[in-house]
């Protein structure tokens, strides 16, 4: 037995001493203050004007998209939406620190990462209207995006399942010999799932180049973090698994960028996982099916509104002389119009033909699916008024 690592480094003691507090204090990296000033002695990450503006513009675009789509859901145009208001920096600035060849395996509130990769307004709309132009063929609820060309794995609803999957994906990347990583996003609530434990432990033991990115946004639907876990956040667990860990201010785009960049470097050079815990706040409701007034106060929300990552970055950009208020307003107005226009056109696009219902269950439909499709088509032809979305196109 080599490396019997559970005994090798253990010191002995002659006192009955139960350890109570956390043995390590995990600080939170902050580069920008809530007012958007660079913290004393902090080192700004190297970001060109273009890169910095791309991060800012993407965050702002996502805020526009979120506002419009929550509105669209209220109007009954889509069935469901899930906004990331207040958390834009977490997904956008982390995605900005990656290579486009890195795989993203997200939870469901990382539309910012997808937009940063280049997902267009029209692509967002096609998914949300479940139409035939959605590469996922309209098979999942709104916001369950997936796009192979952008290396963004299709989202599934069950919480935490992507965590061990990301470990496996990263192991495959390592075996392929390419210098790429997988980033895996999840919330602090999902970190209570067994898959969190399984995924982190496996990544550590099997040396997988994966970045675990936890958005600790304070709430899992209505359950506050203090009813989710009793330890020191999620970061403390990383240490327990033997995973290199950093905690960052989740509303500070520069801190997130710097931490993710460093995590990526370590994951590739040392072939190991890194855990990032981003301390942020879900200013939005959990989803359009949720109403936060039932479980938290306006005061609490206002405190976090004051730490808004977008306003914070705008101030930093201004200090650099990179921010043009007029241009910015123009871009926001255009984004609003684009979203509305795309919504109008994409909501009219047909859903896939009924024949698609049996595709992709297997690589080719087996006999029983073909038989069921034929029965279904015959039935639709008999009762076309019951199936208006597909009846006119049944072959």
Partner 1 sequence: MAKMNLLQAINNALITAMTEDEKVMVFGEDVGHFGGVFRATSHLQEKFGKARCFNTPLTEQGIIGFANGLASQGSVPVAEIQFGDYIFPAFDQIVNETAKWRYRSGGQFDVGTLTIRTPYGGGIAGGHYHSQSPEAFFAHCPGLKIVMPRDPYQAKGLLLASIRDKNPVLFMEPKRLYRASVADVPEDDYELPLGKADVVQEGNDITLLGWGAQIEILQKAAAMALEDGVSCEIIDLRSILPWDVETVMSSVMKTGRLLINHEAPLTGGFASEIAASIQERCFLYLEAPIARVCGLDTPYPLAHEKEYMPDETKTYEAIKRTLHY
Catalytic residue numbers read: 282, 286, 295
Enumerate helices (H) and strands (E) in the chain, giving the number of each: 12, 8
Q: Rank residues 103 and 314 by Cβ distance to partner 1 and give the closer one.
A: 103
Rule CB under 8 A: say whether 164 interacts with partner 1.
yes
Q: Rank residues 203 and 254 by Cβ distance to partner 1 and give the closer one.
A: 203
CA dist., res. 386 & res. 277, Å (int): 49
Q: What is the pattern of x (binds partner 1, CB under 8 A) and - over residues 172-201? A: xx-xx-----x-----------xx-xxx-x
For the bound state, the minimum distance from the C-beta of residue 144 to partner 1, rounded and expressed in Å, comes to 7
- Token pair listed for 360: 């992709």
With CB under 8 A as the contact rule, the residue among 47, 59, 166, 259 that binds partner 1 is 166
Q: What is the pattern of x (binds partner 1, CB under 8 A) and - over residues 267-296? A: ------------------------------
Asked if residues 312 and 32 have their Cβ atoms less than 8 Å apart, the reply is yes
For the bound state, the minimum distance from the C-beta of residue 127 to partner 1, rounded and expressed in Å, comes to 10
For the bound state, the minimum distance from the C-beta of residue 62 to partner 1, rounded and expressed in Å, comes to 22
Q: Rank residues 318 and 375 by Cβ distance to partner 1 and give the closer one.
A: 375
The side-by-side arrangement of strands in the sheet containing 244-249 is 28-29, 244-249, 274-279, 210-216, 182-187, 103-105
Radius of gyration of the chain (CA): 23
For the bound state, the minimum distance from the C-beta of residue 333 to partner 1, rounded and expressed in Å, comes to 33
Q: What is the pattern of x (binds partner 1, CB under 8 A) and - over residues 71-110? A: --------------------------------x-x-----
**Residue of 349, 350, 359, 356 lying closest to 392 (CA atoms):** 350
For the bound state, the minimum distance from the C-beta of residue 153 to partner 1, rounded and expressed in Å, comes to 6
**Residue of 146, 145, 131, 140 lying closest to 353 (CA atoms):** 131
- Token pair listed for 218: 């304070």
Q: Which of residues 124-143 bind partner 1 (CB under 8 A)?
A: 134-137, 139-140
Phi, psi for residue 207 in degrees, rounded to 5: 55, 60
- Candidates 260-268, 280-288, 325-333, 359-367; binding stretch for partner 1 (CB under 8 A): 359-367
For the bound state, the minimum distance from the C-beta of residue 363 to partner 1, rounded and expressed in Å, comes to 4
Asked if residues 220 and 160 have their Cβ atoms less than 8 Å apart, the reply is no
With CB under 8 A as the contact rule, the residue among 40, 46, 158, 299 that binds partner 1 is 158
Residue 223 pairs with which residues in a beta bridge? 220
Q: Rank residues 89 and 163 by Cβ distance to partner 1 and give the closer one.
A: 163
Taking the chain, what is the end-to-end CA distance rounded to the nearest angstrom?
A: 66
Is 254 exposed, middle or buried (CB count within 10 Å of its CB: 0-12, 13-18, 19+)? buried
Rule CB under 8 A: say whether 170 interacts with partner 1.
yes
CA dist., res. 209 & res. 49, Å (int): 29
Phi, psi for residue 303 in degrees, rounded to 5: -60, -40
With CB under 8 A as the contact rule, the residue among 107, 121, 165, 217 that binds partner 1 is 165
Residue 41 pairs with which residues in a beta bridge? none
Residues that bind partner 1 (CB under 8 A): 103, 105, 134-137, 139-140, 144, 146-148, 153-154, 156, 158, 161, 163-173, 175-176, 182, 194-195, 197-199, 201-202, 205-206, 359-363, 366-368
């Amino acid at each position: 037995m080599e490396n019997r690592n559970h005994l090798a480094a253990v010191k002995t003691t002659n006192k009955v001493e139960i350890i109570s507090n956390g043995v390590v204090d995990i600080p939170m990296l902050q580069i920008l203050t809530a007012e958007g000033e660079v913290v004393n002695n902090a080192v700004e990450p190297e970001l060109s004007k273009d890169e910095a503006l791309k991060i800012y513009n993407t965050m702002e675009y996502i805020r526009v998209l979120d506002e419009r789509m929550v509105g669209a859901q209220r109007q009954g145009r889509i069935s469901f939406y899930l906004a990331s208001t207040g958390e834009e920096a977490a997904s956008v600035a982390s995605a900005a620190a990656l290579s486009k060849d890195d795989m993203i395996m997200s939870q469901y509130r990382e539309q910012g990462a997808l937009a940063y990769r280049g997902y267009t307004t029209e692509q967002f709309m096609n998914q949300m209207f479940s139409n035939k132009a959605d590469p996922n063929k309209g098979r999942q609820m709104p916001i369950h995006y997936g796009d192979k060309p952008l290396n963004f794995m299709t989202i599934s609803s069950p919480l935490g399942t992507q965590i061990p999957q990301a470990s496996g994906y990263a192991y495959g990347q390592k075996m392929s010999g390419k210098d790429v990583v997988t980033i895996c996003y999840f919330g602090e609530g999902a970190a209570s799932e067994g898959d969190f434990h399984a995924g982190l432990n496996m990544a550590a033991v099997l040396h997988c180049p994966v970045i675990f990115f936890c958005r600790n946004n304070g709430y899992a639907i209505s359950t506050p973090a203090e009813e989710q876990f009793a330890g020191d956040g999620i970061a403390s667990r990383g240490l327990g698994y033997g995973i290199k860990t950093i905690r960052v201010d989740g509303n500070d785009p520069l801190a997130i960028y710097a931490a993710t960049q460093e995590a990526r470097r370590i994951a590739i050079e040392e072939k190991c996982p890194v855990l990032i815990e981003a301390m942020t706040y879900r200013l939005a409701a959990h989803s359009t099916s949720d109403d936060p007034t039932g479980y938290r106060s306006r005061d609490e929300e206002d405190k976090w509104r004051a730490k808004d990552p977008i306003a914070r970055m705008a101030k930093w950009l201004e200090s650099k002389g990179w921010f043009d208020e007029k241009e910015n307003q123009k871009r926001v107005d255009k984004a609003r119009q684009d979203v509305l226009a795309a919504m109008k056109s994409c909501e009219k696009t047909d859903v896939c033909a009924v024949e698609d219902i049996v595709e992709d269950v297997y690589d080719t439909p087996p006999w029983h699916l073909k038989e069921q499709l034929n029965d279904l088509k015959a039935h639709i032809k008999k009762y076309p008024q019951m199936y208006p979305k597909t009846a006119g196109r049944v072959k």
